[in-house]
Amino acid sequence: MQQIDWANLPFGYSDSDYNVRCYYRNGAWGKIEVSSSSVINMHMAATCLHYGQEGFEGLKAYTGKDGKVRLFRCEENAKRMQNTADRVLMAAPPVDLFREMVHQVVKLNARFVPPYGYGATLYIRPLLIGTSPEVGVRPSEEYVLLMFVVPVGPYFKAGFKPVDMMICRDFDRAAPLGTGTVKVGGNYAASLQSLELAKKLGFSSTIYLDAKEKKYIDECGPANFFGIKDNHYITPKSSSILPSITNKSLQQLAEHLGYVVERRPVPFEELSEFEETAECGTAAVITPIKKIVDPVTNTTFNYGDGVNAGPVCTRLYKEYTAIQFGEKPDLFGWTEVIDL
């Protein structure tokens, strides 16, 4: 059995022992099946391949200081997948089925759960796809929900360090009445070109402006954006932003810690008023931003000392991850223990 270098795990795919699958046929979900194959056999005319009937989620399992393995807000991921399914006319998996499959896939791959102390986690990827063959544009009659796991290190190699971002004006991630509020693969495909451009220019990621007017901050690459100003946690409200579970949780935590939370349109010009800015999501939790550059207007916004994360982002990150790793009491009921 190959030894895993827990201290140097990348954030990328690697094989585990098992995945779990559940099929929707004849109007009902079947029993959970266990597979050791990383291959999906499907018809070449499956709706997921041609018409984008696909949605996915991402969540993690954490080994705590006490040795217990915890999930973080699993039910929220299940509900978000249901919203995605409803938006693109797929069969929505019940919350209980989603949770049972998460627990089972973690237990089956217990040897891949990173031990406490390395900052590593077990990433869980649920995937829902339409599998019926169709040539006309119509929803599938059959679906499969599958889940696999991957032990991962930090999303950014530098860890909790500030990064540079680029304002993107030439591409839109999603339209206001499109699929931006759900987690379908097409949203990420739409972002690939701009993300690649940003990286070629030396930036970590892109910040999108609203597609309609190009006046307001929208998504921050594949994550949500927030800014800190005068003891306020401010995050964009938009009809094209994915409701991040991390952002939702950070808002609750910020209120608990005494900050005022504002979820509202954030004008581009307000970037000059923030004391701290960051992106947030499951992969990295919080990624502080030290510089935002708009190549079109030749405008640069700088934050902090350019080396370290600001005090509010640091406090939120430490408090948040302490709950995930069982280092502090979970006052919000976010975590659940998996009995391995």
**Mind telling me the catalytic residues?**
183
φ, ψ (nearest 5 deg) of residue 302: -110, 145
Helix (H) or strand (E) holding 35: strand 33-35
φ, ψ (nearest 5 deg) of residue 201: -90, 5
69 close to 337: Cβ distance less than 8 angstroms? yes
Give the number of other Cβ atoms within 10 Å of residue 170's Cβ: 10
Q: Cα(60)–Cα(124) distance, rounded to whole angstroms?
A: 6
What tokens were used for 53?
């009937």
Helix (H) or strand (E) holding 84: helix 74-87
